[in-house]
Structure 1
């Protein structure tokens, strides 16, 4: 059954907390901390949609998009901070398709924060939010085949490998294979 707007909690700016992280709505004042992290070529190389270079204008357009996602009840886009709220670590979001009651999960972590488990912790919080608060039926995510670390995050959290889309994305002049993972509410909420 697909929840109606009246039966599910409204999608409002929320703060999610984990043991080490705080996820909150992006703000304009985050741009100075965001640019050096998201602007790293290594980050862009591991993501499907982040360009390089990443400019102030890109950041402003992204934040406008994020505001629209919240206002139109089309998902949730969060900045990921260390729990004290002082240090930006990355970003994460769910883009919801209400017709099919599913969402695409996307995330990035700044290079200085790789290999600390922050991504797994943030994805766990986003999955909890998607299933418990947004009442989604399914959440899926993709990653480049040459970024197995992202796949390990998905596997650790119980997402199932659903296939490979061969040469699916053109990134920097090269067609890249994309791996797809998904998880259902009934699997997550057990």
Structure 2
């Protein structure tokens, strides 16, 4: 079962099928898809199938996909997912925030609590995140939450008939705990 995670302004919880419509609307924005790994167009069927896959992913500890909800408004604004690689005891942080909610610090706020969940509740040794190089805002979020730039994978993905570079950011548990204890 996916726990509830709470920040000052956000509630992170399991997705429910009733979230599919809003997820489709937010994730279906072409500007969002342009700098993320989301498929485009993002249909209601895609959203529903993705949400329906969550219980098995969570049960098998393969991924923890959180719906990012604006507190007090019960409004879905995005997704924060931690994909677990048990073999190497690491997690991949992946997220998107709907365009109408950009530049409010929500990605930073939600990332921090999911990173804490990954290290403290899932006992991961490393959390990393791939970010399209052209997505400067996500690169800044990664740095704000303590992930360090580790390198660029040149022409790593083919997106809309163009090869895109991907920056890799990462954080070790020992560095996270050290930084946390010095605050």
Task: State the alpha-carbon separation in 2 of the partners of residues 155 and 188 from structure 1.
Answer: 13
| 1:75 positional shift | 2.8
Aligned counterpart, 2:121: 133
Aligned counterpart, 2:90: 102
Q: Structure 1: which 5+ residue stretches go unaligned?
A: 1-11
Say if 2:33 is the partner of 1:55: no
TM-score normalised according to structure 2 size? 0.94
Task: State the alpha-carbon separation in 2 of the partners of residues 166 and 65 from structure 1.
Answer: 31
Q: Which has the higher contact order (CA 8 A, sep 6+)?
A: 1
Q: Structure 2: which 5+ residue stretches go unaligned?
A: 179-183
Higher helix share: 2
Aligned counterpart, 2:7: 18
TM-score normalised according to structure 1 size? 0.91
Aligned counterpart, 1:64: 52
| 1:98 positional shift | 0.8
Task: State the alpha-carbon separation in 2 of the partners of residues 41 and 148 from structure 1.
Answer: 17
Which residue of the other structure, out of 6, 30, 35, is the alignment partner of 1:41?
30
Alignment deviations for residues 84-142 of structure 1 (CA, whole Å, 9 cap, x no partner): 25111100101101111001110000000000000000000110100010010000001
Runs of 4+ in 1 over 6 A off after TM superposition: none
SS in structure 2 of the partner of residue 169 of structure 1: strand
Aligned counterpart, 1:92: 80
Alignment deviations for residues 23-48 of structure 1 (CA, whole Å, 9 cap, x no partner): 00111010122111111001111112
Aligned counterpart, 2:181: none
| 1:154 positional shift | 0.5
